[in-house]
Amino acid sequence: MSTALVLFRRDLRLSDHPALHAACTAHDRILPVYVHDSAADGDWAPGAASRWWLHHSLRALDQALSCQGGRLHVATGDPLTCIRQLCIASGARAVYWSRRYEPAAIAHDSALKAALRADGIEVHSHPGNLWQEPWMLTTDSGQPYRVFTPFWRRLSAQLPPPRPLPEARPRQWGIADGSVPIEALKLLPVIRWDAGLAAQWTPGEAGAQELLEIFADDAVNDYAKLRDLPARHGTSRLSPHLHFGEITPRQIHAHLRERAEGADLTPYLRELGWREFAYHLLYHFPYTPHANFNPRFDAFPWAKDDPALLERWQRGRTGIPLVDAGMRELWQTGWMHNRVRMVVASFLTKNLRQHWLHGARWFWDTLVDADLANNTLGWQWVAGCGADAAPYFRVFNPYLQSAKFDPDAAYLKRWLPELAALPAKTLHEAWKNPSALAACGYPAPMVDMAASREAALAAWEALPAA
């Protein structure tokens, strides 16, 4: 009887899983394995919110396997050592996995594949979490894309993609001795601050499918209109499920085409296209998680690091209502509306002139959808130093943004309960009403928005020409 190992990483699902499907087709017995090893992530090991999600996602995967008579074999330590031992114990002569695209993970998987093949073990890597592999789309001159619009034009011309694969069901699930409990990985916080996350999210493949159903029924038809309103659930909120591979872009696309017939899916699919663009950039420009895509910004005069200032931003105590509402939403739920993400990032990098890496690191630790490709693209885009970045002179005004996208201040009042009794107009014009906000125990603004904007623009204009 032929046995294969399927190594699960950020593909924690059973359906539309090319690697698992291929293994089930070629072998009689499948041993599903998760090896916990943060070394493959380099210095971007999962943050606290991501570890919380991973714990619950692994439990969900194990439960799904148990419904088919299997179980997830969990190991911890060096993946090569663990896989070698499991191959000997199970008699497996083949290992399957889904590809990863982060620089450290690519190097790790390449070394793992070479070592296993030197042992005489077959290794099969498969795509699975993107519409297209990052190297498959190039410009007419064969170069990687640096601008989103032509990238999206070429990618969207190739949609719709093939139909999603059905749930994999091997002839027999394998079981090996030595699996450790998921709890032994110690992914959950010792001090249980995660109640807000648990109230908002259901990690796992079933939770992803439920959110997709809700989005298809309630929001996709009005996505272009609702997606910028932070008080509404106008977005799919599927980003953490996508990051952990509990659902695929192919599944989302196919389901929406079927359930939302007649709806204009382009605005939403375009957002998934930005995710693909982020992975395209990370693959072709692997230095960008730590360095500016645009080297002109290497000379930018960032303000001196100020831990006290940074902490006020992190805790939502800046005195700017929309910024503080977003940062408190993040702290409590592990997520933040995308419109607000742009506002809080602009405030940090332009009004406070703190380096974008400070923000990227904080998001990395606190977001349940922390994803190296998307996090890097987003922060460099707002800071003005990335590929296809927002012009540096685009500085988001939090007061105008809240008045436009949260006119009745429902979002502000939800996350800033000390200000809930104040009129919306007072909150949108907080700089005119400092005493009213101070009477509620709310802090004064950290900076003058107009003056800090002018200082940022002056710093940018002083940069050497490209």
pLDDT tens for 114-157 read: 999 999 999 999 998 999 999 999 999 999 999 999 999 999 99
The verdict on whether 152 is a catalytic residue reads no
- Which is the catalytic residue, given 271, 331, 431, 433? 271
Q: What is the pTM of this model?
A: 0.97
The verdict on whether 379 is a catalytic residue reads yes
411-454 per-position pLDDT tens digit: 999 999 999 999 999 999 999 989 999 999 999 999 999 999 99
- Which is the catalytic residue, given 131, 335, 379, 381? 379
203-226 per-position pLDDT tens digit: 999 999 999 999 998 888 899 999
- Which is the catalytic residue, given 201, 356, 362, 381? 356
303-331 per-position pLDDT tens digit: 999 999 999 999 999 999 999 999 999 99
- Which is the catalytic residue, given 133, 167, 173, 274? 274
The verdict on whether 302 is a catalytic residue reads yes
Gap between the Cα atoms of 58 and 61, Å rounded: 5
Contact 104, 44 (CB under 8 A): yes
Structure tokens, 257: 């085409």
Q: What is the pLDDT confidence band of residue 17, given thresholds at 50, 70 and 90?
A: very high
pLDDT of amino acid 97: 98
- Write the single-letter amino acid at 124: H
How many other CB atoms are found less than 10 A from the CB of residue 217?
11
Structure tokens, 23: 């293994």
Determine the length of the chain: 466
Gap between the Cα atoms of 70 and 165, Å rounded: 20
Gap between the Cα atoms of 239 and 360, Å rounded: 17
The verdict on whether 44 is a catalytic residue reads no
Gap between the Cα atoms of 166 and 461, Å rounded: 55
For residue 132, give the DSSP letter.
S
Q: Which of 449, 461, 459, 422 is nearest to 438 (CA)?
A: 422
Radius of gyration of the chain (CA): 23
Q: How far is CA 319 from CA 67, 203, 324, 325, in A?
A: 51, 34, 7, 10
Q: Which residue bears the tokens 């690697």?
A: 19
Domains in the chain, ordered, with CATH? 3-128 (3.40.50.620), 129-163+206-284 (1.25.40.80), 295-461 (1.10.579.10)
Q: Does residue 202 surpass a pLDDT of 80?
A: yes
The verdict on whether 271 is a catalytic residue reads yes
28-50 per-position pLDDT tens digit: 999 999 999 877 778 899 999 99
